[in-house]
C-alpha cells in the first residue's frame, strides 16, 4: 500500500497492481524481455481534462494530452525509483504511448507493453466496444503508464461490471 499511496500523492488518479502472470497481451513481447525477473506491474492512471478535450481548439486539447503524457512519464520514473529504494528490487518504468518499436516486423504498431491490457489486469477497467479501457470512475478519459517490478504483488480484483453502455458514441465518432 505504500507504493499505491506514493503514486496517488505524486499525481496518479488511480493505481492498480497486477501479477505478471495475470498480464496477457496477444501482440506485445513477453515482459521478461524488458525486465527478466519481472513479477508484477504497477499501473498508474491519469484522467484527462474534460474542458480541454471538449474544446473546439485542438491546440488546447493537444496541450492537455501532452501534459498528461509528461506527468505520467515522470511519475512512472519516480515510482520505479521509489520501488527500488523501498524494496531493493529492480523496477522499470514503461512510457505512455511512446516510444514505439519502429523496427520490422512491428513497424510502430505495437508498444513494448500494452497499457490497456495491463490496466485491465490491474483492476482499473474493462475493454469497451472501442477497444479502449473504460474506468469505473473516469470512463475512457484516462491514460495509463506502468512500472514493471521484481517485487511480487498480488493482482487487484478485476472489474467485472460491463461498463460499456452500447451507446455507440465511439462508433459514431470514429472516422
135-173 per-position pLDDT tens digit: 989 988 899 999 999 999 999 999 988 777 677 776 776
Residue 6 has pLDDT above 90, yes or no: yes
Longest dimension (CA), the chain: 49
- 56 touches 107 (CB < 8 A): no
Q: What is the pLDDT of residue 152?
A: 96
- 41 touches 147 (CB < 8 A): yes
CA triple 55-56-59, angle to 5 deg: 80
Which is more confidently placed, 52 or 36?
A: 36
How far is CA 114 from each of CA 50, 98, 133, 145, 166, rounded to the nearest angstrom?
24, 11, 11, 9, 24
- Lowest mean per-residue pLDDT among 28-32, 53-57, 122-126: 53-57
Which is more confidently placed, 175 or 8?
A: 8
Q: What is the pLDDT of residue 110?
A: 67
The average pLDDT across 80-95 equals: 96
Nearest alpha carbon to residue 91 among 49, 136, 153, 144:
153
Q: What is the pLDDT of residue 95?
A: 84
Amino acid at each position: 500500500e505504500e507504493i499505491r499511496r506514493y503514486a496517488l500523492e505524486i499525481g496518479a488518479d488511480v493505481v492498480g497492481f497486477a501479477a505478471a502472470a495475470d498480464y496477457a497481451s496477444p501482440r506485445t513481447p513477453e515482459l521478461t524481455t524488458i525486465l527478466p525477473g519481472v513479477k508484477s506491474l504497477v499501473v498508474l492512471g491519469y484522467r484527462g481534462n474534460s474542458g480541454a478535450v471538449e474544446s473546439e481548439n485542438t491546440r488546447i486539447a493537444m496541450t492537455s494530452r501532452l501534459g498528461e503524457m509528461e506527468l505520467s512519464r515522470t511519475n512512472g520514473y519516480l515510482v520505479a525509483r521509489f520501488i527500488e529504494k523501498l524494496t531493493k528490487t529492480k523496477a522499470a518504468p514503461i512510457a505512455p504511448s511512446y516510444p514505439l518499436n519502429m523496427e520490422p516486423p512491428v513497424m510502430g504498431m505495437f508498444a513494448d507493453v500494452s497499457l490497456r491490457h495491463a490496466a485491465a489486469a490491474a483492476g482499473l477497467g474493462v475493454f469497451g466496444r472501442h477497444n479502449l479501457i473504460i474506468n469505473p470512475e473516469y470512463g475512457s478519459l484516462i491514460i495509463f503508464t506502468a512500472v514493471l517490478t521484481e517485487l511480487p504483488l498480488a493482482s487487484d480484483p478485476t472489474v467485472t461490471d460491463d461498463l460499456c453502455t452500447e451507446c455507440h458514441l465511439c462508433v459514431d465518432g470514429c472516422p
